[in-house]
Structure 1
Amino acid sequence: MKRFVLISSLALLGWVMTSTVAQAQYNNWSVGVRLGEPSGINVRKYFGNNRAFDLNIGTYGGLYGTKRSYGPGDYRSVGLTVQGHYLWHTAVTKSESIRAYYGFGGQINNRRTYPLRLNGEYQKTLSLGGSGIGGLEFFPVNKPYSIFLETGAYVELLQSPFFLSLNTGIGLRYNF
């Protein structure tokens, strides 16, 4: 299964990168799905030629395993998350079919944690932290969608200061 996903992703990436002229659709709204950490619905608003705001709403804690050490205990489930980033982006190719971006923002998570003091019982925890992201977005020629691949990090401030988590994702957005 992993081999199939890898081969399919590489084939799709090769197809997208063969474009010669693009009419990039990055000055409006886009809505799509993001698979990764976090996974869920992705909404992006582009501003002018080089800025955007990106919002992810979905699940958190499933990609790298649901049982992870967390503060004085662990968490064993997937939670709900809202993540937002202010982005700067620029064309990588002359045709603007490939754009690179990076940005900073925050993340709010709601999940069950199992602190040692509760002897196996859970408590619901609302956590808050900062995050940074970088990625590539591909705009196929004359198509209303884009494909993106990104990576970044989340550093928690509240409930477990300095808890660090890798944020990676791949997704598809419809641009309108």
Structure 2
Amino acid sequence: MRKLFLGTVLVLLSWLTTSNTAQAQYNNWAVGFRIGEPSGVNIRKYFGNNHAFDLNIGTYGGLYGTRRSYGPGDYKTVGLTVQGHYLWHTALTKSESLRAYYGFGGQINNRKTYPLRLNGEYQSTLSLGGSGVGGLEFFPVNKPYSFFLETGAYIELLQSPFFLSLNTGVGLRYNF
């Protein structure tokens, strides 16, 4: 197990230090991971100089505690989520290595909820809502990856209208 961990760390370090051309890294596809709310796989498609679509697939409800009040009851577990945003982004530096972005979209969640009417038993709940996000993305010069930091909010429409949740995250994407 220890050798596998060390091998994985060495592969990651060599990948991060591999040189690549810096030409328009943000005009391509990017795949990586996001740690936060939600956490999971992140896929981004850049369109032209200032648009992108961002997709997160992973877990929801773990960062801010798995036990929260939800409608007429609670949720106590982490759930599955799919979140998508259409983004507008712009360069903050002349070299375009630092970009700011914001966007709007939606989120679908599936998690176990514990309504009061079920006396401690759970039900699987599919929820749907809108979300917004804003963040910063850093493209190191001559590297094929980027780092990002973002924050936003999710407001549920179905099952528990106006349930509000903060969405924050940091991550790493490989740009190709």
CA offsets per residue over residues 56-111 of structure 1, 9 Å max, x none?
A: 00000000000000000000000000000000000001110000000000000000
Question: Quick one: distance in 1 between partners of 2:141 and 2:166?
Answer: 32
Look up the match of 2:141: 141
**DSSP 3-state at the match of 1:26:** helix
**DSSP 3-state at the match of 1:157:** strand
**Structure 1 residue 23: deviation in Å?**
4.0
Look up the match of 1:49: 49
Question: Quick one: distance in 2 between partners of 1:94 and 1:145?
Answer: 19
Look up the match of 2:87: 87
* TM-score normalised by the chain length of structure 1: 0.87
Q: How does 1:68-147 map to 2 (within 5 A)?
A: 68-147=68-147
The amino acid that maps onto 1:51 is H
- Indicate the percent of aligned positions where both proteins have the same amino acid: 89
Where does the alignment leave 5 or more consecutive residues of structure 2 unmatched?
A: 1-21
* TM-score normalised by the chain length of structure 2: 0.87
The amino acid that maps onto 1:108 is I
RMSD: 0.7
Look up the match of 1:151: 151
CA offsets per residue over residues 130-163 of structure 1, 9 Å max, x none?
A: 0000000000000000000000000000000000
Question: Quick one: distance in 2 between partners of 1:87 and 1:102?
Answer: 5
Look up the match of 1:169: 169
Question: Quick one: distance in 2 between partners of 1:116 and 1:150?
Answer: 35
How many residues were matched structurally?
155
Look up the match of 2:27: 27
**Residues 23, 141 of structure 1: 8 Å contact kept:** no
**Residues 56, 82 of structure 1: 8 Å contact kept:** yes
Look up the match of 1:15: none
Question: Quick one: distance in 2 between partners of 1:24 and 1:170?
Answer: 22
The amino acid that maps onto 1:104 is F
Question: Quick one: distance in 2 between partners of 1:103 and 1:148?
Answer: 14
The amino acid that maps onto 1:121 is E
Look up the match of 1:10: none
**Residues 24, 139 of structure 1: 8 Å contact kept:** no
Where does the alignment leave 5 or more consecutive residues of structure 1 unmatched?
A: 1-21
